[in-house]
Amino acid sequence: MMLVNRVFAAIYDPFLALGERRSMGQQRAGLLAAAKGDVLEIGAGTGLNLRHYPDTVNALTVSEPDAAMRAVLQRRVAGIATPFAVTVSPAPAEALPFPDGVFDVVVSTLVLCTAGDPAASLDEVRRVLRPGGRLLLIEHVRGADGSRLARRQRRLARPWRAFAGGCRCDQDTVRFLSDAGFSVASLRTESWAGMPAIVSPLVVGSIGDDVWAC
């Protein structure tokens, strides 16, 4: 386990603490109220979503490929009581070791910005979702084309990525979602209060596959 990974895992929750109190905790709770059945959370990190899952969940699988983050996640899973089974997986989002169509819901919160291959990750999400399944997501996104924020994100993208564990603050995540076949029209825009402006614009929602919607 690399020292830098251990340090990042150790500071992750404290760094997000203000944002969690001011906005993200409420965003997580509102989003995850729709979780039900067999649920997969990709890139679960340190497990900040765990306390927000409702008892409509039958079973929860949380995947996290980074060993340092996963160690924190496993401790959090062990320390929380849930009415459903929780399984921890080391799988990366772009190579999920699950059969086709086995999950009712996949959850992605602040994940796609750091996924090694966002397009492959979303292809995998579609593959493991049952027909009619939902992707519940909160992701920070690139500012509007030509905006001052977008220019700032582009200028700071490299140092932010080095500081924030590979996070790409200027990624056009909505385009990746659309290209993967997800219907993005219902996504709403929100703001991540308490965090640097370059990661403040969010898209939030419960979305499905355009093919299923036809």
Q: Based on C-alpha coordinates, what's the Rg of the chain?
A: 16
Q: Which pLDDT value is given to residue 61? A: 98
Q: What pLDDT does residue 78 have?
A: 96
Short-list 155, 149, 39, CA closest to 102: 39
How far apart (Å, rounded) are the C-alpha atoms in residues 200 and 202?
A: 6
DSSP conformational letter for 108? E
How is residue 3 written in tokens?
A: 């020292």
In CATH, the number for domain 1-207 is: 3.40.50.150
Pairing of strands 188-191, 201-207: antiparallel
Rounded-to-integer distance, Cα 101 and Cα 93, Å = 15
Instruction: Pick out the chain residues at pLDDT < 70.
Output: 1, 210-214
| Helices and strands of the chain, counted as H and E runs | 7, 7
pLDDT of residue 9: 86
Q: How far apart are CA 116 and CA 25, in angstroms?
A: 26
Distance spanning both ends of the chain, measured CA to CA? 46
Listing DSSP states for 11-67 in one string gives HHHHHHHHHIIIIIHHHHHHHHTT--EEEEESS-TT-TTGGG--TTEEEEEEE---H
Q: Where are the alpha helices (H) located in 132-192, listed in sequence order?
A: 148-163, 173-179
Predicted local confidence at residue 1, as pLDDT = 52
Q: What is the pLDDT of residue 214?
A: 34
